[in-house]
């Protein structure tokens, strides 16, 4: 089959047009680079746009919120799998990154007294400071800022409905202290034109999102998250780090089917008295609002595995105790409605009026939300390698990553509200570094290096077979939830390894018609190819992680101690298929600081236990003071007064 191939030249290719891709393209263009943005979805239509729209902005809640404190929060929450230089960069640049979003049209609520973006009333799970800023219109506001960043760029071109198929690299011939490979461009399928586009470029930023579609429908993310970022990079020879660390939001809806997988809240929205219960009403986790997402997800799925889960494979989030108290109850309702408004409205619509009033429990189940592992990079988003903890060794020259494509930021657990800030920080950093690479690279790309990729892709059109890629996708999604979902065992990981071998063989028998314009079967084939690569990387890393930590929960192993030496898993793709896995040691927090952090954490949890033991009258007064301290006796909840619950709910239902 002959398919037309067009040739283009750019300084930087940015793969993906969401929060990270938009910032990477914008900054690279400002640095003088000619940029091509490649997106299989419309520009700006990504997980960023459907998010809750909450961003971490350091010092938005208090002047004593230091960069060192935020960086430490990230590493403590991430089990010290994070790279310290990367968390330091996140903390240092969070304000500047947020200001860039504002320059593209983002409009935050402003604290009139401090003249800063106004954070939510309580710190989100894992944060020790109030620094999470919500926005009217939630993620749509960020999606528009991403769109503006691309559209307004004077040196930016973009392709929509275009699949970035593969990186093209060549050997450098350099010594051991230099990268062995360098990027010279990439191959793209333009669905609307029905042609291939070979783009010569010395720098590529991968910002193509995560992998959660592997677990569909048990996910709250966009369907385009088919692991493209990781598969494309791995096939080129890049290292992937901590791929077993998939984050599952604990409180997603389990029913009805049209709402399945959608986010219904965060641990913090359970507030002071929220608990998780099994099907028998037994409390399986208290102090929910202080817990990380990983803790909550683990509690739910362990209950399901023990046979005590809810009818749809989850558990019950019980917030009724918050609502019942006459003085503090109205404040709780206002807090619930305003903390994550789109999640609350989704839950109310799906579960009904009584659930919206918190008169009954909510059935919830974890849903795949975010990939914390990814392409191994340094603090500038540049591909990295080696066995040292500092990520200073070279990876592939000219390859960069940002957003969910990038590993090393969050380690074993991502704290709430950090993803949108990560997009801004490392989108900008990778775009700037990519532009510098383009500016200092004088080598001319070898067109012959593109030939094998063009030939292999062209051969797929008209491929004969008896298998539909869409059918294999469904099999992979079902088995991935069981084998590499929120809970894992050695037997399940071995089962998936055998299934992956079978699916790879059947992939070669996928039927693809010969036409080239909008060939849906070809697009399904390419996404399935990436999903299989990514699932295999996750499974390989999970087999090497010998205990539970963060988003990796082993039912057949114990928890890895916070006082043990942390390590990251690093996977490399073998040219003929499969992955090699090795461990890279990470520095642990100083013992004194780790003990102090754990003591503070346990003290907060103990205080909740004391609160639960109080007589209801004392409990009510105590909580009323707490709510007033964080929300104000008026202002944040001016219409809320004792007995005013129905009025508060009435206001929410008008939204």
Asked if the structure places residue 233 within a domain, the reply is yes
Tokens 């390859």, residue located: 399
Predicted confidence band at 650 (pLDDT cuts at 50, 70, 90)? very low
In this predicted model, what pLDDT tens digit does every residue of 192-214 receive, in sequence order? Answer: 999 999 999 999 999 999 999 99
Over 70: is that where the pLDDT of 651 sits?
no
* 273 and 357 fall within a common domain: yes
Asked if the structure places residue 595 within a domain, the reply is no
Asked if the structure places residue 596 within a domain, the reply is no
pLDDT of residue 494: 96
* 57 and 107 fall within a common domain: yes
* 391 and 345 fall within a common domain: no
Asked if the structure places residue 602 within a domain, the reply is no
Helix, strand or coil for residue 405?
helix
In this predicted model, what pLDDT tens digit does every residue of 128-168 receive, in sequence order? Answer: 899 999 898 888 999 999 999 999 888 999 999 999 999 99
- DSSP-assigned states of every residue in 514-560: S--TT-HHHHHHHHHHHHHHHHHHHHHHHHH--SBBTTB-BTTS-BP
Total domain count, the chain? 3
Task: Quote the domain boundaries for residue 462.
Answer: 453-577
In angstroms, the CA 217 to CA 226 distance is 13
* 125 and 17 fall within a common domain: yes
Predicted confidence band at 643 (pLDDT cuts at 50, 70, 90)? very low
Give the count of beta carbons closer than 10 Å to the beta carbon of residue 45: 19
Stretch 185-195: mean pLDDT: 97
Q: What are phi and psi of 73, to 5 degrees?
A: -55, -45
Asked if the structure places residue 56 within a domain, the reply is yes
Over 90: is that where the pLDDT of 292 sits?
no
In this predicted model, what pLDDT tens digit does every residue of 329-385 receive, in sequence order? Answer: 999 999 999 888 889 999 999 999 999 999 999 999 999 999 999 999 999 999 999
Predicted confidence band at 645 (pLDDT cuts at 50, 70, 90)? very low
In angstroms, the CA 38 to CA 14 distance is 6
* 197 and 289 fall within a common domain: no
* 436 and 492 fall within a common domain: no
Q: What predicted TM-score, i.e. pTM, was given to this entire model?
A: 0.92
* 28 and 174 fall within a common domain: yes
Whole-number average pLDDT of the chain: 91
Query: Nearest CA to 33 among 429, 428, 435, 398?
Result: 435
Q: Which residues contact 426 (CB under 8 A, 6 or more apart)?
A: 20, 89, 90, 381, 401, 402, 403, 406, 409
Helix, strand or coil for residue 77?
helix
Helix, strand or coil for residue 320?
helix
pLDDT of residue 389: 60
Asked if the structure places residue 82 within a domain, the reply is yes
**DSSP category for residue 155:** T
- DSSP-assigned states of every residue in 228-242: HHHHHHHHHT--EE-
Contact 469, 510 (CB under 8 A): yes
**C-alpha to C-alpha distances, 248 to 220, 341, 426, nearest whole angstrom:** 10, 20, 23
Give ∠ CA 541-542-546 in degrees, rounded to 5. 110
Asked if the structure places residue 385 within a domain, the reply is yes
Predicted confidence band at 592 (pLDDT cuts at 50, 70, 90)? confident
Instruction: Report the first-to-last Cα separation within the chain, whole angstroms.
Output: 54
* 437 and 471 fall within a common domain: no
pLDDT of residue 446: 87
In this predicted model, what pLDDT tens digit does every residue of 232-269 receive, in sequence order? Answer: 999 999 999 999 999 999 999 999 999 999 999 989 89
Tokens 């074993």, residue located: 412
- Positive or negative, the CA dihedral 512, 515, 517, 518 is negative
Taking 3-state DSSP, the helix, strand and coil percentages for the chain, each rounded to the nearest 5, stand at 40, 20, 40
pLDDT of residue 634: 52
CATH number at residue 517: 1.20.58.100
């Amino acid at each position: 089959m002959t398919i037309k191939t067009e040739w283009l030249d750019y300084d930087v290719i940015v793969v993906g047009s969401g929060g990270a891709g938009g910032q990477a393209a914008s900054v690279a263009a400002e640095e003088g680079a000619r940029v091509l943005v490649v997106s299989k979805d419309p520009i700006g239509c990504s997980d960023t746009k459907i998010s809750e729209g909450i961003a971490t902005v350091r010092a938005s809640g208090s002047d004593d919120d230091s960069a060192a404190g935020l960086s430490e929060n990230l590493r403590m929450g991430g089990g010290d799998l994070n790279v310290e230089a990367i968390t330091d960069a996140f903390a240092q640049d969070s304000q500047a990154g947020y200001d860039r979003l504002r320059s593209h049209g983002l409009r935050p609520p402003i604290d009139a007294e401090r003249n800063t973006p106004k954070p939510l009333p309580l710190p989100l799970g894992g944060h020790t400071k109030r620094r999470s800023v919500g926005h009217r219109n939630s993620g749509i506001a960020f999606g528009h800022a991403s769109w503006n960043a691309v559209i307004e760029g004077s040196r930016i071109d973009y392709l929509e409905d275009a699949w970035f198929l593969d990186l093209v690299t060549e050997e450098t011939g350099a010594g051991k202290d230099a990268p062995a490979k360098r990027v010279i461009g990439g191959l793209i399928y333009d669905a609307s034109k029905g042609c291939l586009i070979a783009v010569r470029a010395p720098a590529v930023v991968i910002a193509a999102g995560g992998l959660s579609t592997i677990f569909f429908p048990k996910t709250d993310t966009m369907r385009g998250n088919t692991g493209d970022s990781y598969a494309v990079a791995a096939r080129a020879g890049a290292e992937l780090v901590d791929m077993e660390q998939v984050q599952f939001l604990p409180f997603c809806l389990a029913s009805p089917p049209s709402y399945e997988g959608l986010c219904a809240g965060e641990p913090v929205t359970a507030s002071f008295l929220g608990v998780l219960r099994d099907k028998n009403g037994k409390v399986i986790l208290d102090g929910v609002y202080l817990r990380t997402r990983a803790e909550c997800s683990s509690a739910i799925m362990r209950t399901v595995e023990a046979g005590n889960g809810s009818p749809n494979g989850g558990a019950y989030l019980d917030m009724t105790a918050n609502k019942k108290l006459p003085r503090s109850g109205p404040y709780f309702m206002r807090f619930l409605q305003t903390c994550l408004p789109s999640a609350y409205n989704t839950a109310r619509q799906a579960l009904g009026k009584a659930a919206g009033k918190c008169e009954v429990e909510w059935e919830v189940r974890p849903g795949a939300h975010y990939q914390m592992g990814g392409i191994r990079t340094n603090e500038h988003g540049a591909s990295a390698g080696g066995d040292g903890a500092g990520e200073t060794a070279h990876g592939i020259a000219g390859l960069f990553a940002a957003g969910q494509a990038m590993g090393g930021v969050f380690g074993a657990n991502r704290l709430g509200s950090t993803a949108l800030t990560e997009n801004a920080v490392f989108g900008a950093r990778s775009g700037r570094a990519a532009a510098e690479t383009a500016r200092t690279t004088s080598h001319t790309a070898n067109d012959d290096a593109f030939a094998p990729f063009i030939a292999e892709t062209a051969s797929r059109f008209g491929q004969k077979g008896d298998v539909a890629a869409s059918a294999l996708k469904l099999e992979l999604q079902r088995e991935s939830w069981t084998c590499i979902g929120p809970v894992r065992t050695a037997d399940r990981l071995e089962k998936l390894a055998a299934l992956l071998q079978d699916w790879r063989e059947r992939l070669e028998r996928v039927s693809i018609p010969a036409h080239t314009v909008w060939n849906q079967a070809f697009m399904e084939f390419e996404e399935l190819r990436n999903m299989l690569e990514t699932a295999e990387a996750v499974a390989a890393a999970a087999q090497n992680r010998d205990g539970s930590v963060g988003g990796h929960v082993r039912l057949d192993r114990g928890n890895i101690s916070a006082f043990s030496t942390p390590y990251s898993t690093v996977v490399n793709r073998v040219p003929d298929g499969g992955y090699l896995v090795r461990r890279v040691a990470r520095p642990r927090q100083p013992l004194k600081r780790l003990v102090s952090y754990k003591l503070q954490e346990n003290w907060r949890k103990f205080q909740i236990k004391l609160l639960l033991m109080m007589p209801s009258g004392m409990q009510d007064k105590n909580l009323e003071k707490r709510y007033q301290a964080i929300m104000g006796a008026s202002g944040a909840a001016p219409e809320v007064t004792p007995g005013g619950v129905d009025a508060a709910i009435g206001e929410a239902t008008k939204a």
